[in-house]
Amino acid sequence: MNKKIKNVPNDIKDCPIFKAMVIFNSKWNMWVIYALEDEKTMRFGEIKKRIPDISNNILSSTLKGLEKLGLITKKQYNEVPPHTEYSLTKKAIALKPIFKEMWKWGEKYNK
């Protein structure tokens, strides 16, 4: 959990809305989930191409955080050359309807 939200009372931590908002707390979490949405698996460089403003270090830490939250899976291939692929879990795929609603809201109110 983010350091900024560690000292939250337990009754709030147990709130489903609070738990969902933890995912939105990071600037890059939703961008990475959105970038992975259309593909079954992607390599680090492919994700980076979809989010050009993110640094390699931030992308790496975001991927680790999303994996810790159970939103992405990481699969390492020990072949030559070695590579790693990332994909969304069912938990992250369940966010797709929320993205659609956010899209609709953005079209309606942010013109």
Exposure class string for 58-87: b at 16+ Cβ within 10 A, else e: ebeebbebbeebebbeeeeeeeeeeeebbe
**Is the separation of the CB atoms in 43 and 89 below 8 Å?**
no
Per-residue pLDDT at 87: 97
pTM for the structure as a whole: 0.81
pLDDT digits (tens, 9 = 90+) for 36-88: 977 789 999 999 999 999 999 999 999 999 999 999 999 999 999 889 999 99
Can you list the domains of the chain with their CATH numbers? 6-109 (1.10.10.10)
Residues with Cβ < 8 Å from 30, sequence gap 6 or more?
23, 24
> What does the pLDDT read at residue 41?
94
Residues in the chain: 111
pLDDT of residue 28: 95
